[in-house]
Amino acid sequence: MRYITPFVLEDLKKKMVFIGGPRQVGKTTLAKAVLSAAFPAGRYLNWDFDEDRQKRWSADNTLLVFDELHKFPRWKRWIKGIYDVSHETHSFLVTGSARLDVYRRGGDSLMGRYHYWRLHPFSLDEIPKGISPKEAFHRLMTVGGFPEPFLDGDERSARRWRRERFDRVLREDIRDLESIRNIQLLGMYLDLLRHRVGGLITLSNIANDLQISPKTAKSWLEVLERMYLVFSVRPYTKSLPRAVLKPPKVYFFDNGDVLGDEGARFENLIATSLLKRLHFLEDRDGYRYELRYIRDKEGREVDFVIVKDGELEELIEAKFSDDNISKSLLYYAKRLNPKKATQIVATIKRPYDKNQIKVTDPVSYFQGFF
C-alpha cells in the first residue's frame, strides 16, 4: 500500500479523486489496489487502449477508474458531465502522467468536484517491507526511487529502464501534449540539466550552448516540469535586503537521473524527499508550502528553505560527508530565526545538536513521517 492510499479511500467517499505524478511512479498499481481493496465491483479503463475507450460500465461498478484520461482533448468537460449525472451511484478515480494540476488551472469547470493527490517515488519515509533503511538509502542513491528499479535493485537494469522511460516521455507524452518539434535537441537540453543538479541554472547560458533562444529554453523547462521529469527550486528573498534574485536550481524526480558526483545525487535526494513531503501536506491539509533556497550577494547559501503559508518554517543544508555545521546555515539561522534549522549529512556517525541546529543523518530525519 502506497503512502497516500488511505487518504484516497477517504476522499473517494466525498468527491472525485485525481492522482497525478511521473510516468511509471505507480499510479496504475495504486488505482488497481484501491479497486481490489475497497471496490471489487469497480471498473478500470485506460485511455491508452482503444478497446477501453469504447467500453461502458454498469450501475454495479461502484468505482470507475479512468487512467491517463488527460490524453483525451475534452476530458474535463467529459468527466464533469459523467460525474454530475452519476456521482450518487459511482465514485471516480482519475490518473494522469502529465501534470493534471496544471491542466486544471484557469476557468476550471471541475471546481469543487474533486480532490487532487500527487504520487511520488519511494523515499526514506516510505520504504517497502523487507528492505532495510541502509539498503533503501543505497538504492535511492544508485537506482532511484521509482518502483520498478528500486524494488529490483539492479543498476544495469535501472539504466535500461531509465533510457526507455526518457524515450517514452520525450517521444510519446511530450509529442501528445506539447507543440515541440525538435525532440532530439530537447533531449540534449535535458542532459545538460542532468549534469548541473545543485547549481544555479542560467537558462541564457544553456540557450547559447544549444543555439536556441532564451525564451525557448524557459518554455522547455516548463514543459519538463509539466511532465514530472524535473522541478525548480527558486530563491527565498523575504526579509533579506541584501539578497539578489538568482536563477533557479533544477532537480529531478528520479534520483537516478542525476549525472554528477555523490554530493549532487545526495542533494537531489534531499530535494525530492522534501518536495514529496510538502506535496503530501498540501494535498492532505490544504496549506500552501514552498521549497526554496537562499543565496545572498556574499555567496552565503543554504540549500533548502521550507515556507508554509508565506512564513519560514525550516532551513536545511545537505552535506554528503562534512558534519561540521555550515557557516551559512549558522548565519541564516541567527539572522532569520526559523522554527527549525537542520543539516542532513549522509555519512554522519553521531548526530548532535549545537547552536540550535540539528545535525543528523537522512534516515533519522525522514523515516517515520508517513
Residues 239-277: tens digit of each pLDDT: 665 555 679 999 999 999 999 899 999 999 999 999 999
Q: What count of other Cβ atoms lies within 10 Å of the Cβ of residue 370? A: 15
Only one residue has cell 556574499, namely: 298
The span from the CA of 197 to the CA of 160, in Å, is 21
Region of poorest pLDDT, from 49-53, 166-170, 192-196, 276-280? 49-53
Q: What percent of the chain has pLDDT over 70?
A: 93
Q: How much is the pLDDT for 283?
A: 96
Residue 129: which residues within 8 A CB-CB, separation 6 or more?
Answer: none
Tell me the residue ranges of DSSP E strands in 74-205: 91-96, 114-118
> Where does residue 219 rank: exposed (0-12), middle (13-18), buried (19+ CB within 10 A)?
middle
Region of poorest pLDDT, from 29-33, 72-76, 206-210, 304-308? 72-76
Q: How much is the pLDDT for 97?
A: 74
Distance of CA 357 to the CA centre of its chain: 27
pTM of the shown model: 0.93
Tell me the residue ranges of DSSP E strands in the chain: 16-20, 43-46, 63-67, 91-96, 114-118, 230-235, 249-252, 289-295, 301-308, 311-319, 340-345, 352-354, 357-360
Region of poorest pLDDT, from 134-143, 235-244, 346-355? 235-244
- Mean of all residue pLDDT scores within the chain: 91
- Specify the length of the chain in residues: 370
CA of 233: how far to CAs of 107, 118, 198, 203, 291, in Å?
Answer: 27, 18, 10, 14, 6
In order of their start, the domains of the chain are 5-118 (3.40.50.300), 133-366 (no CATH)
CA of 113: how far to CAs of 29, 32, 43, 61, 106, in Å?
Answer: 24, 22, 20, 20, 15
The span from the CA of 264 to the CA of 199, in Å, is 9
Q: How much is the pLDDT for 240?
A: 62
Return the closest-CA partner of residue 356 out of 294, 309, 314.
Answer: 314
Tell me what the mean pLDDT of segment 325-340 comes to.
96
Give the 3-state secondary structure of residue 4: coil
Write phi, then psi, for 127 (nearest 5 degrees): -105, 125
Q: How much is the pLDDT for 368?
A: 85
Report the amino acid identity of residue 108.
D
Return the closest-CA partner of residue 150 out of 262, 253, 280.
Answer: 253
Q: What count of other Cβ atoms lies within 10 Å of the Cβ of residue 186? A: 20
Query: Does the pLDDT at position 73 exceed 90?
Result: no
Are the C-beta atoms of 204 and 225 separated by less than 8 Å? no
Looking at residue 200, what DSSP letter applies? B
Tell me what the mean pLDDT of segment 348-369 comes to.
95
Radius of gyration for the alpha carbons in the chain, expressed in angstroms and rounded: 21
Are the C-beta atoms of 177 and 23 separated by less than 8 Å? no
Q: How much is the pLDDT for 239?
A: 64
Which one has a higher pLDDT value, 368 or 160? 160
Q: How much is the pLDDT for 272?
A: 98
Q: For the chain, first and last CA: distance in Å?
A: 12
Write phi, then psi, for 354 (nearest 5 degrees): -155, 135
Region of poorest pLDDT, from 74-88, 211-225, 249-263? 74-88
Query: Does the pLDDT at position 320 exceed 90?
Result: yes
Q: How much is the pLDDT for 96?
A: 85
